[in-house]
């Protein structure tokens, strides 16, 4: 493969990844809007659901979601306004603020998850299981290379 050909495919790959990301973001936005959520809100609720009754500190949640402290604080503010999350002082370290799901959020997630599972399968139905597996492997390989930059 020539350098020129490699450069073409590098650029083309970035363009296709960007187009796919934009399209996926649009499709997911419409999907979550049906439930009065954004994708970041849904992701936060999923992380808190997985954490269980103890919830997560805001810094733990930020690390899991790969967002800054300022962004996680704003996100928790919005979830708290929607009565989906409560903040509590950590009983062990009073300097730490923890977030956990409300009963309303647990019920919402219980209702959303079966619908979300079907939606996700349909959204990815253009690829076989083998193709999805290979795509995940390739994306992880790309991520590892980008992390070295």
What CATH number should be reported for the domain holding residue 80? Answer: 1.10.10.10
Q: What is the mean pLDDT of residues 13-31?
A: 96
Please provide the average confidence, as pLDDT, over all residues in the chain.
94
**Category of 66 on φ-ψ map: left (φ > 0), alpha (ψ -120 to 50) or beta:** left
Same domain, yes or no, for 28 and 39? no
Domain region containing 9: 1-33
Same domain, yes or no, for 26 and 43? no
Same domain, yes or no, for 55 and 116? yes
Furthest C-alpha separation in the chain: 62
Residue 8: pLDDT above 80? yes
pTM given for the model = 0.86
Same domain, yes or no, for 142 and 86? yes
Q: What is the mean pLDDT of residues 87-103?
A: 92
Q: What percent of the chain has pLDDT over 70?
A: 99
Q: What is the mean pLDDT of residues 99-105?
A: 97
Same domain, yes or no, for 53 and 125? yes
Same domain, yes or no, for 38 and 28? no
Same domain, yes or no, for 22 and 83? no
Same domain, yes or no, for 62 and 16? no
Same domain, yes or no, for 45 and 8? no
Give how many domains the chain has, as a whole number: 2
Alpha carbon distances (Å) from 86 to 45, 76, 143: 12, 8, 34
What's the confidence (pLDDT) of residue 120?
96
Q: Which residues contact 67 (CB under 8 A, 6 or more apart)?
A: 40, 75
Q: What is the mean pLDDT of residues 15-44?
A: 96
Same domain, yes or no, for 112 and 101? yes
Same domain, yes or no, for 43 and 11? no
Distance CA 135, CA 133 (A): 5
Same domain, yes or no, for 9 and 82? no
Are the beta carbons of 44 and 50 closer than 8 angstroms?
A: no
Position 91 confidence tier, pLDDT thresholds 50, 70, 90: confident
Structure tokens at 37: 């959520």
Are the beta carbons of 57 and 90 closer than 8 angstroms?
A: yes
């Amino acid at each position: 493969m020539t350098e020129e050909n490699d450069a073409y495919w590098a650029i083309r790959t970035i363009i296709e990844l960007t187009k796919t990301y934009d399209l996926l973001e649009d499709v997911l936005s419409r999907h979550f809007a049906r439930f009065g959520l954004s994708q970041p809100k849904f992701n936060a609720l999923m992380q808190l659901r997985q954490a269980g009754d103890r919830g997560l500190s805001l810094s733990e949640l930020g690390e899991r979601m790969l967002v800054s402290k300022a962004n996680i604080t704003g996100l928790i503010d919005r979830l708290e306004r929607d009565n989906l999350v409560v903040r509590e002082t950590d009983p062990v370290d009073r300097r730490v603020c923890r977030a956990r799901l409300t009963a309303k959020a647990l019920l919402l997630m219980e209702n959303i998850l079966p619908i979300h599972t079907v939606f996700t399968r349909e959204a990815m139905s253009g690829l076989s299981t083998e193709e999805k597996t290979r795509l995940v492997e390739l994306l992880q390989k790309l991520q590892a290379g980008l992390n070295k930059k």
